[in-house]
Amino acid sequence: MNESTVTAAAAQALAVAGQGPAYLPPFAQARLGTMGIELELMVLDRLTYDLLPAAPDILQLLEQQDKRWVATPEITTSMLEVATSILDNYQQALAELEDIRHRVERAAFAVGAVISGGGAHPFQQWRDQRIYPKARYRESARKFGYLAKLFTVFGMHVHIGVPSGDEAVRLCAWRTQRAPLFIALSANSPCWQGENSGFCSARSNVVGAFPMSGTMPAHIRSWQQFEQHFARLAALGIVTSVKDFYWDVRPKPESGTIELRVLDTPLHPSFAAALACYARALCVEASRPPERWPVDDGLNCTPGTASTPPATASLAPGSIRRRAPRAASPRRCCAMAARPAG
């Protein structure tokens, strides 16, 4: 790693933590169709199935292991994030996700916890959550107030490699158009704060509360225009890094990817791998032919236009969303989700 790379990484870290000036790294090239998967996981008490603030202890155990993937903290201490290495196909994805599950489960068991997927814990209370002691999350709590603790929800993010910034912007537009499809396919969070939310994905509505959620503006049609948009918002003090965009799909310049962010965390590695590969396949399909953009035909709308609803609207009354069963028991749902799969 040369000096310029170290300097760029340091500038990025300071910007993300809110401790330095805004910074947007140049877009790194990646091979089209490579992918990476991030999963936000619940840390549960083994007896009560309530959220347990044991993520720091689990992460400490995982740091001692030699592994291809990484585990990092999330905004509250009852959740953690795992991220795979660069993957090429379903078999690689499934094998690595199974390895992640087994290792994280063992580490959690050692501290009296269990790990679960799912988009939202069914009966936790947001007031009880603790902000993870990390500069970025403390800054989020300062900036967003109670929303920071409310953001104890759990999603799956799929990164797809793209060869250039311009192509990343174009493919973000295509993936944004398909975001409701992935919400519907992954929705598994019907309960929220001990109540039947009436939605199959309560998580999606929580994410929508953040000021910078939604979709990439439709006027952005190149990486240069994205840079200009970022610079305008940075000058106003609204953003300091790409992580401040809570869009359904956003570019990730430092890794040369676009990031699909609308999925609830699946309950099994095989489902996570399948969803990631489906997102990858649609991305590769949209890359051929190049230069083609989504067209507003009244059904598939160009992202950001007035006729385009936010992705969460796909689960709103009167659309494709399906109401959760009234008899759903939050505690039973949580216990079943935490049970190791066969």
Sign of the CA dihedral running 298, 301, 305, 309: positive
**142 φ/ψ sector (left φ>0, alpha ψ -120 to 50, else beta):** alpha
**If we measure between CA atoms, which residue out of 266, 247, 258, 226 comes closest to residue 311?**
247
Q: Which two tokens stand for residue 41?
A: 């996981």
Q: Which of 82-91, 169-178, 258-267, 303-312 is least confident?
A: 303-312
Q: List beta partners, residue 155.
A: 264
- Residues 76 and 69: their CA atoms lie apart, in Å, by 21
Has residue 45 got a pLDDT over 80?
Answer: yes
- The answer to whether residues 36 and 87 touch, using CB atoms and an 8 Å cutoff, is yes
Q: What pLDDT is recorded for position 313?
A: 39
Q: Match 């793209």 to its residue by tokens.
A: 162
- Residues 253 and 160: their CA atoms lie apart, in Å, by 12
- Residues 311 and 11: their CA atoms lie apart, in Å, by 32
Give, in order, the Cα–Cα distances in Å from 200 to each of 150, 292, 309, 313. 18, 33, 18, 12
pLDDT in tens, 215-264: 999 999 999 999 999 999 999 999 999 999 999 999 999 999 999 999 99
Count Cβ atoms within 10 A of the Cβ of residue 340 and give its class: 0-12 exposed, 13-18 middle, 19 or more buried.
exposed
Has residue 75 got a pLDDT over 80?
Answer: yes
Q: List beta partners, residue 158.
A: 37, 260
Q: Which two tokens stand for residue 170?
A: 């174009």
Q: Which of 77-86, 116-125, 173-182, 330-339 is least confident?
A: 330-339
Q: What is the pTM of this model?
A: 0.85
Q: What are phi and psi of 80, to 5 degrees?
A: -145, 160
Please, which pLDDT band fits residue 300 given cuts at 50, 70 and 90?
very low
CATH entry 3.50.50.60 includes domain 25-338: no
Please, which pLDDT band fits residue 310 given cuts at 50, 70 and 90?
very low
Q: What pLDDT is recorded for position 21?
A: 87
Alpha helices by DSSP H, 24-89: 55-63
**If we measure between CA atoms, which residue out of 145, 300, 169, 160 comes closest to residue 227?**
169
Q: Which of 29-43, 121-135, 176-190, 322-336 is least confident?
A: 322-336
Mean pLDDT over 44-61 rounds to 97
Q: What pLDDT is recorded for position 275?
A: 98
Q: What pLDDT is recorded for position 291?
A: 79
**If we measure between CA atoms, which residue out of 31, 94, 25 comes closest to residue 252?**
25
Mean pLDDT over 196-221 rounds to 94
- Residues 339 and 207: their CA atoms lie apart, in Å, by 26
User: 266: cis peptide before it, omega within 30°?
Assistant: no
Please, which pLDDT band fits residue 2 given cuts at 50, 70 and 90?
low
Q: What are phi and psi of 334, to 5 degrees?
A: -65, -40
Please, which pLDDT band fits residue 296 given cuts at 50, 70 and 90?
low
Mean pLDDT over 288-299 rounds to 71
What is the number of residues in the chain? 342
Has residue 93 got a pLDDT over 90?
Answer: yes
Q: Which two tokens stand for residue 289?
A: 């032919």
Residue ranges of domains in the chain: 25-338
Has residue 7 got a pLDDT over 70?
Answer: yes
Has residue 308 got a pLDDT over 80?
Answer: no
Mean pLDDT over 41-62 rounds to 97
Q: What pLDDT is recorded for position 325?
A: 41
